[in-house]
Structure 1
Amino acid sequence: MFCTLLWGSAAPFIKWGYDLFSISQTGDILVFAGVRFLLAGLLVILAGSLLQGKLLTAGKAVMTPVLTLAFFQTFGQYFLYYLGVSQASGVDSAVITGTGAFISLLMAVYVFRYEKMTANKALGCLTGFAGILVMNASALTQAGGSLMGEGLILTSQVFSAISAAFIKKFTRTHDAVLLSGWQFACGGLALMLSGLAMGGSMPGASAAGWAVVLYLAFVSAAAYTLWGLLLKEYPLSRVGIFNCIIPVAGVFWSAALLHETGQAFAPSTLAAMALVAIGVWLVNRPETPDKRSENQTCGS
C-alpha cells in the first residue's frame, strides 16, 4: 500500500515538474527523467551502504542483472512513460498505470511460468482492461483525438511487467537493494545522456522544481526498493495486483495538485475505478481447496 500510494503521486508530480521547469521538448523531458532516476539510484546506494555497513558496489557478477533491469525497469519503461505523461492528463496516466498489475500477471503466467492462470485471474484481467477502455472511451470517439500519450504509457507498463518478473528472478541470488540502486543509476544516466544528445536541458530551474525532483527521486528509491524485497518473498501476482491501487491514489493526487477535479470525479473515471477494483477482488478471490492447492503446487 505504501509503495502504490507513492506511485500514485508520480504522474501529477511529473506534470507539475514539467510546469515548474518549463519543459515541453522531448530532450528536456528525458533529462528531467534521467536526473530523477540518477538521484534515486544514488539515494538507494547511500542508504543501503549505511544500513549494511559496507559500500554497495556493482561487481562483474551483478552487471548482467543490473543492466537488464536498467533497460527494462528504468530506461525503456520511463522513456515511454515520461513522453506519454507529457501528452496525457494526470488522471488518465494514473488509471492506465493500473494495467501494470494485470500485465504482470499475464507475464508471470505465460512468459516466465511462475504460476498458473485461473478463471478468477482471467476474469480479473478482463475486468481491469474494461476499466481502461471505459476511461478512454471519449478519446476513442472524439474527432481528431489522439491516443499517443495513453498508448505510450500502456506500452511502458509492458516494460514494467517484464522488469518485475526479472526482479523476482534476480533477487533469488542477488541483493535487492544493490540491484535497485545500481539499475536506477545506470538507467537514469542513460536517460539523461539521451536527453542531452537531443539538445535537452532543465531550463526553468527553481527551488520548487528541484523539490519536486527530489520528491520523485524519493518515490523511486523507496517504493522500488521495497517492491524488490516484496517480490523476492512473495508470488508475483500477489504483490503485483496491488498496482491497481495506483489509479485510485493517482486520481485524487491529480485532483489535488493539478485541479483535474472535473475529470477525477467524472462518471467514466468513477466507473473505471470501480471496474479496476472489481478486477483486484477477482484476482484475490479465495478459490476452492482443489484449485488453491493446484496453484500452490504450480507456483512452487
Structure 2
Amino acid sequence: MDLQQMRYVVAVAETRNFTRAAERCSVVQSSLSHRIAGLERELGVRLFARSSRRVELTGAGAAFLAGARECLAAADRAAADAAAAAGVVRGRLAVGVIVTTAAVDVPELLQRYRARHPDVRVVLRSGRSDELAAAIREGDLDIAFLGLPQDQPPSGVETLVLDHDEHVLVVPAGHRLAGAARVTLRQIAGETFVDFAGGTPARAQSDQAFAAAGLTRDVAYEAAIIELMTGLISRGLGVGLLPSAFVRPLASHSPGLALVPVVDGPRRIEYLAWSRFNPSPATRALLDVLGVRGRA
C-alpha cells in the first residue's frame, strides 16, 4: 500500500461519496475506486460498504482509517520538517479561534502569515475554548485563541496570556440602565438574559460570577452567534454580559445598544495555546509572526 491509497480512503470516509472524494483528490473517480479496490484486495477486507446511494465505513475500515490518518500526518510532518531544515516553511497549520477573540486581529495576523509563508495551507476552525484546547491535545489543531474564566486556565497545552478583560452589561439603547455609570450583579439579576449555551466556557464566566454573589438569573435566550445575541438585545428581548474588548467596537456601530460597566462582573483571560509536544515548523512560524520567540 502507499500514501496515495491512504489519502483516497480518508477522502471517501470524510465525504462518504466516491465522486466528491475523487474531486477532492483531483483524480477521476474510476482511478480512485480502482486504487481502493486494490487496497481492499491487498488487505483481504472490505473497507467500505457500498450501495447506489450510500457509502459507509465497515468495522475494518474504521480501524484502518485511524492508522491511515496517523501515517499521513507523520508523512506530512516529515516533509514539513525537511523543508524547514532547508529554510522553507511548508505543510498545514490548523488554527482554532473563539467567536469573541479580541486580543489579536486574527484575519490581519493570517494575512501577514501568508505573506511570509505562502507554502503553508492554513485552515481555520471556530469553536468553544474547551473544545479547541482538547483538539490541540489530540493533535487536531496546532494553535488556538481561547477565552476562559480567570481562575480556569487551559490544561495540557502550552499557553501565553494575551489579555485580561472584564465583561460589560449590554442593554438596548432605551433600557432603564442605559445611561448608568455602573451597575452591580444584584441590580441586574432580575433581568432576562441573552447568553451562550449552558455548559460552555463562555457561559461559565457569567454563571460563576452570579453564583459567587449568591444570585440566580433567568437566561431565556441561548445562542452561539454574536450577531444573533446583540440583535435580540437591541430589540429589547433581554440583556447580556459580553467581554468589553470584543463588544465595544460592535456597539460603536450599533446605535441600538448601550454598554454599562459592571462593578463585580465576570472576568476572563484570553490565551494563545499550542501543543506542548514538538510543535510543527508551521506553528513555530506563526508564533514568530506574533513575536512569541523562544516558547516553542
Using the size of structure 1 for normalisation, the TM-score is 0.24
Return the structure number with greater relative CO, CA threshold 8 A, min gap 6.
Answer: 1
Which structure has more helix as a fraction of its residues?
Answer: 1
Structure with higher Rg: it is 2
Using the size of structure 2 for normalisation, the TM-score is 0.25
